[in-house]
Structure 1
Amino acid sequence: MAGLPMMRSAEQTPAAGTLSPVRLATALRLLLLVMALWLCQMVAAAAQSEGSGGPLLDRLTPEVVEAVFPGITRVELVEDDGPAAAAAYAGEEMAGYIFSTLDVLRAPGYSSTPFDVVAGVGLDGRVTGAVVLFHREPYLMNDERRTGQLVTFLHALEGLESRLGATGGLEPGFVAGATISARAMRNAVLEGAGMVLGYRTEMVVVTEPTIDTINFKPMSADELTDMGALARARITNADLAAAMEQAGLGDYLPEIPTVGGPNDLYADIVFGYANPPKIGRNGVTAETFDQLVNGTPEGTMAIYAGSLGGVFDHRGARFNNLSAGLLLERISVEQGGKTFRLHKPDVIFSRGKIADLLLLPPDAQFDPMAPWTAQIYASARLPDGSLRQFQLADLDYSLPPEMILMPPPVLAPAWAEPWIEGWPEIAILVVALSVLTAILVFQGQLTRRRKLHLWVRNGFLLFTLVWIGWIAGAQLSIVHVINYIKAPFSDLGFAFYLAEPLIVILSIYTAVSLVLLGRGVFCGWLCPFGALQELLAKVARALKLPQWNPSETLQRQLWWGKYASLALILVLVFVAPDLSSIAQEIEPFKTAITAMFARALPYVIYAVILLGIGLFTERAFCRFLCPLGATLAVLDRLHLIEMLKRRPECGNPCHLCERSCPVRAIEKSGKIVMAECFQCLDCQVEYYDDHRCPPLSKIRKQLEKAKRGPAPARPAVVARKAA
């Protein structure tokens, strides 16, 4: 507009271009530093690989044995070429094996150091118990609450099948904040149990559903009936009378006279598929079952039929009668519209009990895995002495899943499990990051509205604290950075980086935003502990608590504190790993965020002290002590885009943005120190406020004056000469 002073184009953001020589030199120094750290890690990993958990029997104290295999009286080391294990005996009878995941798999969790979980597996293929003896999992160490959750989680593995992918027990998320460690220990126990038992037993490897003809366990008829392995008909005298009435034979007497009253037992008959030893061998004598296994053509199937009580049995009286075709006239089997009638040559009788194996030849077209029906017949005696048959009962039968060996499930890659299970949380985080991206892209429109910026800023910080931090437990920390650096030298593979979905997504977003905009995107918007500090600081200012910020010179000295904490942790990680876990407690993230203050008192006091300091100096921990912040600040020097706008007047003569910056990341010269900036956008709110920003305020007043037009001319005053 004519007549108005023109502002210089310095208001525009400098264009992102190629790296300057200074940035290139910084990048080379960082590369050399990373290479040096990796070299140290290789040396440490090599030394660590020489370590050992000691002889297995030395670790199997009576307390450990009782926890992983209750009832065991002695253990003996198994000396063969299979996976290391100790045989577990109950008296003189062998009951299973005890093994260590450290010896069998050397599996690591979230730490690159393999853990040592001792577990037991019974000869029935089930885990008997598991306890952890050693680990260096960062989110479990020095955390009594999570350690207790891990103990409960491992205890819940008891009874699971000894194979990777077995279902049951507790979900890894039960150990909140340490799901990777819990999942790794569970998988190591299940996989190790399968390896230990499979090498030393006749475990059948199946590629399709197969009848279990291997495993045996003594079980009663009641137990088999309860699990569905036997179909059972308990028929009273009253049931008999009802069946005869329905058949139109109510005026006649049954072939087998009843004994007792209406509620007394007439027949108690069971049927089941006999080839699984748990059914057939429990139903007949061992000799009888051996005839089925070793004395019949391969592929022969058998139906188990037994009479457990009452005056009526399943055999009948005419199976010895040649003229009657040696038929067991009282029973038949029906499947898919086809009826199988049994004759004496088709039966293996059991001595000492009324229990038989009814043989079906391999070509009988009988499918033992499909449902079938056992039909029970009885006869009524007519006045002329002849017998008329009627149906007494139908028994529907299906072989229970426990009697069928299933092929190992096709498992998704180990890293995919948490992604599949955690898709709702992943979706929420992706939406939140999309919202944050929109905030950053359209920050100009947002910061032109002071109240809107205030609500958006506080709302997102609250989401970061409550959902990302306390609910999802996705607090990115220096522990993740260190583990990512160490992983390539610990044989963890690419899957390690994908094992924690929310952390992976946050890490990628942080890395991209770090290269583009600087460290402030994560530290200012996505760090739950940082959000907690800032929200508390806002409350403190609302309560008019005194605020203190160091001078520019002193602040530069204090900034070195976070670099010192980072250096201390890095040195200890490679020199003294045990001490490094203590040094990592410089970050109070585990206490205040992932554990929500449910930790030992010293950790809670430390976190509360840091938060208390933050009430008087905003984000004091982030600015002066945070090792993760130091890592991001070092890498910040490579960022490409400067989105925070400045004017020539910033710093000289105007200091408005400098005073409004809550973390004093703006120098007196007006320059923003991006390595210390948290991208809160408070300075941009001032930048666009034409009532507070002096250059804009001046322009606004000139525009308002121009709209009003020129001031009306004042009337001329003529002085009169004195007479």
Structure 2
Amino acid sequence: MRILLALLFLFVQGLAALAAPLTRDEIAAFIVPPYALGEPVNDLGVWTLLNSGGAEAGYVFETKDMAPLPGFSGGPINMLVLLDLEGKFIDVRLISHNEPIFVSGLGEAPFRKFLEQYRGHSINTPLVVGVPYGEGGAGSGLVYLDGVTKATASVRIAHESILAATLQVAREKMQGVQSAPPAHPDPDHDEALDWQALVDQGIARNLKVTNAELDAAFKGTVWAQDDAEAQADPGGLYLDLWLVDIGAPSIARAVLDDEALRDLDRFLKVSPDDEPLLVIDAGRHGLVSADFVRNTAPDLLGAVQDGLPVALRDADMIFNTRPGVPEGTAMILRTDRRLGFDPAREWTLQVQAVRQHGMFQPEVGSVTFELTHVTPERFYARAEVAKALAPWAEAMRNRAGDLIALAVALPLLLLALGPGMNRLAALRVYTPVRLGILAVMTGFVGWWGQGQLSIVTPLATLRTALEGGSFAYLLYDPFSLLIWAVAGLGFVLWGRGLFCGWLCPFGALQEFAHHLGRLLRLPEWELSTIWDARLKWLKYGLLAAMVATVLLRPDRVDTVAEVEPFKTAITTFFLRDWPFVAYAAAWLVLGMFTFKGFCRYVCPLGALMAIGGLLRGRDWIARRAECGSPCQLCKVRCKYGAIKASGTISYSECFQCLDCVTIHNDARQCVPLVLAAKGRAMKVTSQAGAAR
């Protein structure tokens, strides 16, 4: 049983791997110079194709997600198509399949050779897979692709997958997305109709071609005398073709008998995006050739809408029509509306008439007869056109869960650091609680939410202001923008401390590094008071240099911003080139010896936060008259050097760690409180002695 479960697990994992789209590197391996892979276009595996000069040259895409037609294995055949901007195939490459005839029979070589035939052909040319009849001559409107003996059906399925996916890309990327979504049959529209009503209203369309007209079409070609039957009966009908779209229920009821209606209903439940088309020919043409295979594309019929082919496929249905409907060779075709076909807009059915000249390896020629068709709009409904959200709104919707979590967490933090500050600082487990909050900031805000603020944003804002651009890009990252807003509020309430002490993921990492250093009993390296004060000005110098870069060399801003290790440690989780990783890691290693050295001395964002802290409206850390003289405990314990010898707080260097608040409120640590308690005890003892 365990072996079976293990095999099942491996099988499922294998299916998942097959289902996953190719990675960038995997796709790039299929592309050879002078072409190169560009950027992804959508989530269906479509990429841009670049030429040797880096300009867009076409598109690269997989077929399985856009045209997942099942093969004989039950799964789709996946191919990679390279299409240029003019709609010509650059190449078609086989990626994966499980067709039995190729897996355990012929091998993949014939399949790959078949796919080579697409190179150079245009999607606007009718491509047909069939038995070749020698060299196609003048007048032929078809391009024949040699099939694979014993595997005709498999390569035709592959052919239809290629065309369906390619047409989808061509419609969306090369002609532009149509202004309205395709119409779909309205199930609520009910109308009493019969065949004559369909004819009178132009819903059922007819194409008649006599033998004489057929001969006229081939006149002047080598095939002019190759149809004895046409010459014997010039007035006879070569084509007497009727076309009606039976996707609308009211129209289908006027054409098909009850049993056929039930079959059609079952078919449409399985394939709800298919549009069924009924064609009937009472002439000699017969709709398909002798080589036609059911459930594949009809080899003598094609369709065009908006200048692009419509992918037709046999629905493989056996049916009867109602009395009054013309008799003849009848078949129901289907086409997928998801590929751009709109039944309520005019389209054209193309019928190929084929002749052969010669006995051995005959030359094949064809002419095309066309029948335009459109079904009235009243039989259809259209989905409302989805209005694209503004980029900022789309960004908010995509990150709704993260924003809700952040919108809950930040007010709780503000309450804990504001009204609840003294209770928070008085907790016996305050340090573990603080480290827990910092862990959330590192994991959720930093690595998960990508909310590490950076000096890049203020510099970009400055550059935009100088150049007169739009600030809309700030809305594209609502997660970080919310943190910026709270950090700005912190300027007024506490100064720089809220962000630098609580909201900065890299600052939290440095604090964790320092605690690790203590656990490892590493020595602490602390600068003298003079050098500590001097080096704290370094971050302001770096900030000034960056502002100068914006003014003088704005193209180098991203380069100088690498002084921040945030991108390496938080944004990319150390997945960068080794010099960047070494730089970020060096600061964390240094943090094991020197408490938050980067934050205190180098961080240009910290310098900006300190300047923003000038908006602070109050001194929020309580002080006593004895602070500084005689008591120096808070100054000695402050790892940031943010308390002066006088006992006053230097808020531009305060990280709001609350250690001094803990000392200030603790009668066992605060020297003035300890002395006051001792004085009260001595007074009580003295009074007790006097009483005795």
TM-score by length of structure 1 reads: 0.50
1:480 maps to 2:457: yes
1:349 & 1:513 partners in 2: Cα distance?
Answer: 71
2:120 maps to which residue?
91
Pair 691,573 (structure 1): closer, same or farther in 2 beyond 3 Å? same
CA deviations on 1:279-338 (whole Å, 9 max, x unpaired) are: x99669569x89x99xxxxxxxxxx998979xx88579xx8xxxxx676599999xxxxx
2:175 maps to which residue?
197
**Pairing of 1:57-76 with structure 2 (within 5 A):** 61=53, 65=57, 68=60
1:627 maps to which residue?
604
Q: How much has 1:619 moved relative to structure 2?
A: 0.8
CA deviations on 1:580-623 (whole Å, 9 max, x unpaired) are: 22211100011111111111111111111111222221010001
**Quick one: which amino acid aligns to residue 544 of structure 2?**
A
1:453 maps to 2:430: yes
2:507 maps to which residue?
530
1:429 maps to 2:403: no
Give yes or no for contact 1:525–1:531 (8 Å, CA) kept in 2.
yes
Q: How much has 1:704 moved relative to structure 2?
A: 3.9
CA deviations on 1:331-359 (whole Å, 9 max, x unpaired) are: 999xxxxxxxxxxxxxx998989xxx999
1:471 to 436, 448, 463: 448
1:307 & 1:690 partners in 2: Cα distance?
Answer: 87
1:546 & 1:659 partners in 2: Cα distance?
Answer: 17
1:409 & 1:610 partners in 2: Cα distance?
Answer: 49
1:379 maps to which residue?
none
Q: How much has 1:680 moved relative to structure 2?
A: 0.5
- Over the aligned positions, Cα root-mean-square deviation in angstroms equals 5.0
Give yes or no for contact 1:529–1:592 (8 Å, CA) kept in 2.
yes
1:692 & 1:307 partners in 2: Cα distance?
Answer: 87
Pair 329,488 (structure 1): closer, same or farther in 2 beyond 3 Å? same
**Quick one: which amino acid aligns to residue 695 of structure 1?**
P
1:548 & 1:413 partners in 2: Cα distance?
Answer: 52
1:635 & 1:351 partners in 2: Cα distance?
Answer: 76
Q: How much has 1:494 moved relative to structure 2?
A: 4.5
Q: How much has 1:434 moved relative to structure 2?
A: 1.4
Pair 691,531 (structure 1): closer, same or farther in 2 beyond 3 Å? same
2:169 & 2:664 partners in 1: Cα distance?
Answer: 63
Structure 1 residue matching 2:639: 3-state secondary structure:
coil
1:707 & 1:609 partners in 2: Cα distance?
Answer: 57
Q: How much has 1:562 moved relative to structure 2?
A: 0.6
1:428 & 1:503 partners in 2: Cα distance?
Answer: 13
1:86 maps to which residue?
none
Q: How much has 1:485 moved relative to structure 2?
A: 2.4
1:273 to 276, 279, 289: 276
2:164 & 2:688 partners in 1: Cα distance?
Answer: 99
1:563 & 1:579 partners in 2: Cα distance?
Answer: 19
Q: Indicate the larger mover: 485-494 or 651-660.
A: 485-494
**Pairing of 1:274-293 with structure 2 (within 5 A):** 274=277
Instruction: Provide structure 2 residue ranges, at least 5 long, that are not aligned to the other structure.
Output: 1-47, 62-79, 88-117, 126-161, 186-245, 250-258, 260-273, 280-286, 289-296, 307-311, 333-348, 355-369
2:313 & 2:413 partners in 1: Cα distance?
Answer: 70
1:563 maps to which residue?
540
**Pairing of 1:213-224 with structure 2 (within 5 A):** none
1:206 to 161, 168, 180: 180
1:515 & 1:443 partners in 2: Cα distance?
Answer: 18
CA deviations on 1:134-163 (whole Å, 9 max, x unpaired) are: xxxxxxxxxxxxxxxxxxxxxxxxx76976
CA deviations on 1:367-411 (whole Å, 9 max, x unpaired) are: 366xxxxxxxxxxxxxxxxxxxxxxxxxxxxxxxxxxx7564112
Pair 709,307 (structure 1): closer, same or farther in 2 beyond 3 Å? closer
Q: How many residues align?
A: 429
**Pairing of 1:224-235 with structure 2 (within 5 A):** none
Pair 690,57 (structure 1): closer, same or farther in 2 beyond 3 Å? closer
CA deviations on 1:11-59 (whole Å, 9 max, x unpaired) are: xxxxxxxxxxxxxxxxxxxxxxxxxxxxxxxxxxxxxxxxxxxxx9996
Q: How much has 1:558 moved relative to structure 2?
A: 0.3
**Quick one: which amino acid aligns to residue 472 of structure 2?**
A
1:453 & 1:651 partners in 2: Cα distance?
Answer: 25
**Quick one: which amino acid aligns to residue 379 of structure 2?**
D
CA deviations on 1:627-681 (whole Å, 9 max, x unpaired) are: 1001111222231121111111111111000001011111111121110110101
1:688 maps to which residue?
665
**Quick one: which amino acid aligns to residue 670 of structure 1?**
G
**Pairing of 1:150-161 with structure 2 (within 5 A):** none
2:616 maps to which residue?
639
1:417 maps to 2:446: no
**Quick one: which amino acid aligns to residue 428 of structure 2?**
K
Structure 1 residue matching 2:534: 3-state secondary structure:
helix
Q: How much has 1:541 moved relative to structure 2?
A: 2.4
2:625 & 2:455 partners in 1: Cα distance?
Answer: 38
Q: Percent identity?
A: 29
1:599 maps to which residue?
576
1:367 maps to which residue?
379
**Quick one: which amino acid aligns to residue 197 of structure 1?**
Q
1:359 & 1:706 partners in 2: Cα distance?
Answer: 111
1:629 & 1:76 partners in 2: Cα distance?
Answer: 54
Q: How much has 1:453 moved relative to structure 2?
A: 2.5
Pair 229,534 (structure 1): closer, same or farther in 2 beyond 3 Å? farther
Structure 1 residue matching 2:616: 3-state secondary structure:
coil
Q: How much has 1:701 moved relative to structure 2?
A: 2.3
1:443 & 1:366 partners in 2: Cα distance?
Answer: 66
Structure 1 residue matching 2:688: 3-state secondary structure:
coil
Give yes or no for contact 1:520–1:679 (8 Å, CA) kept in 2.
yes
1:307 & 1:510 partners in 2: Cα distance?
Answer: 63
1:677 & 1:305 partners in 2: Cα distance?
Answer: 73
Pair 574,90 (structure 1): closer, same or farther in 2 beyond 3 Å? farther
Instruction: Provide structure 1 residue ranges, at least 5 long, that are not aligned to the other structure.
Output: 1-55, 78-88, 97-122, 129-158, 164-192, 212-227, 232-242, 244-270, 294-303, 320-324, 334-347, 370-404, 716-723
**Quick one: which amino acid aligns to residue 175 of structure 2?**
L
Q: How much has 1:361 moved relative to structure 2?
A: 11
CA deviations on 1:86-107 (whole Å, 9 max, x unpaired) are: xxx96374779xxxxxxxxxxx
> Which structure's relative contact order is higher, taking Cα pairs within 8 Å and 6+ residues apart?
1
2:175 & 2:372 partners in 1: Cα distance?
Answer: 33
TM-score by length of structure 2 reads: 0.52
CA deviations on 1:100-121 (whole Å, 9 max, x unpaired) are: xxxxxxxxxxxxxxxxxxxxxx
1:556 & 1:330 partners in 2: Cα distance?
Answer: 96
Pair 701,499 (structure 1): closer, same or farther in 2 beyond 3 Å? same
Structure 2 residue matching 1:486: 3-state secondary structure:
helix
Pair 332,94 (structure 1): closer, same or farther in 2 beyond 3 Å? closer
**Quick one: which amino acid aligns to residue 520 of structure 1?**
G
2:221 maps to which residue?
none
1:612 & 1:305 partners in 2: Cα distance?
Answer: 66
1:556 & 1:361 partners in 2: Cα distance?
Answer: 82
1:674 maps to which residue?
651
Pair 204,71 (structure 1): closer, same or farther in 2 beyond 3 Å? closer
1:615 & 1:567 partners in 2: Cα distance?
Answer: 29
2:325 & 2:278 partners in 1: Cα distance?
Answer: 24
Pair 361,492 (structure 1): closer, same or farther in 2 beyond 3 Å? closer
CA deviations on 1:511-534 (whole Å, 9 max, x unpaired) are: 111123201110000001111111
Pair 704,57 (structure 1): closer, same or farther in 2 beyond 3 Å? closer
1:541 & 1:588 partners in 2: Cα distance?
Answer: 23
CA deviations on 1:196-220 (whole Å, 9 max, x unpaired) are: 634xxxx753378468xxxxxxxxx
